[in-house]
Amino acid sequence: MIHMKLTLRARHLELSFWPLIVVGLAHLFYETIHMPMGKINLPGAGVFPLALIIPMALMAIYRVTWLLTHKDEDTESIVLGDKNIFLALAGLVGIALLLDLLGFVITMGVFLFVTFKVFTESSWLKSALRAALTVIGLYVFFEYLIGVTLPMGPLIAL
């Protein structure tokens, strides 16, 4: 059982988060400007990412600037350590590590089943049905509607 609790000032937490976002967006911007932009009637691969990166970077820079100039408005404390946060993060790390090995269907099925069981406190059957229907829906969406091939892992033989 996890009993770790960490109390941080909201401002300090944000000041550790937003600059990382700015750096990440700067890297994405650098990579995106090397992608083809296309023409006005046929946009290239770099247009959509650039259209997302620029406003996100501007908002992140604004937030960092606001935090640095409004030091006196820091009154809120945040307690970190809720077991659900750690379970969600562990699940996401598990997806990253197991997706290629076990494939999309198995990895996401297990992740969604555990997520539905833990966070919604549903019965085993309801959690399994929700996970199965969600995985099927996601699989159909990615494979057939937008044409993205998902890793299949051991199910590739079927």
Tens of pLDDT along the chain (158 residues) come to 445 565 667 777 788 888 889 899 999 999 988 888 888 788 888 888 888 899 999 998 998 888 888 777 666 666 666 677 778 888 889 888 998 899 999 999 999 999 898 888 889 999 999 999 999 999 999 888 888 888 888 877 66
Tokens of 157: 């033989």
Do 105 and 144 reside in the same domain of the chain?
yes
Query: DSSP string of 19-84?
Result: HHHHHHHHHHHHHHTTS--B-SSSB-TTHHHHHHHHHHHHHHHHHHHHHHH-GGG---EEEE--HH
Residue 1 in domain? no
Q: Which of 49, 80, 111 is the last residue of a domain?
A: 80
Q: Which of 50, 80, 110 is the last residue of a domain?
A: 80
Residue 9 bridge partners (DSSP) = 77
Do 49 and 60 reside in the same domain of the chain?
yes
Do 24 and 65 reside in the same domain of the chain?
yes
What pLDDT, on the 0 to 100 scale, is given for residue 134? 94
Judged on CB neighbours under 10 Å (0-12, 13-18, 19+), 110 is middle
Do 45 and 24 reside in the same domain of the chain?
yes
**What is the C-alpha to C-alpha distance for residues 146 and 96, in angstroms, rounded to an integer?**
22
What pLDDT, on the 0 to 100 scale, is given for residue 1? 45
Q: Which of 80, 109, 140 is the last residue of a domain?
A: 80
Q: How many domains is the chain partitioned into structurally?
A: 2
**What is the C-alpha to C-alpha distance for residues 21 and 14, in angstroms, rounded to an integer?**
10
What pLDDT, on the 0 to 100 scale, is given for residue 74? 62
Do 58 and 89 reside in the same domain of the chain?
no
Residue 50 in domain? yes
Q: Which domain holds residue 12?
A: 6-80
Do 73 and 27 reside in the same domain of the chain?
yes
Closest to 10 in 3D by CA, of 74, 67, 73, 64: 74
Report the SS3 class of residue 8: strand
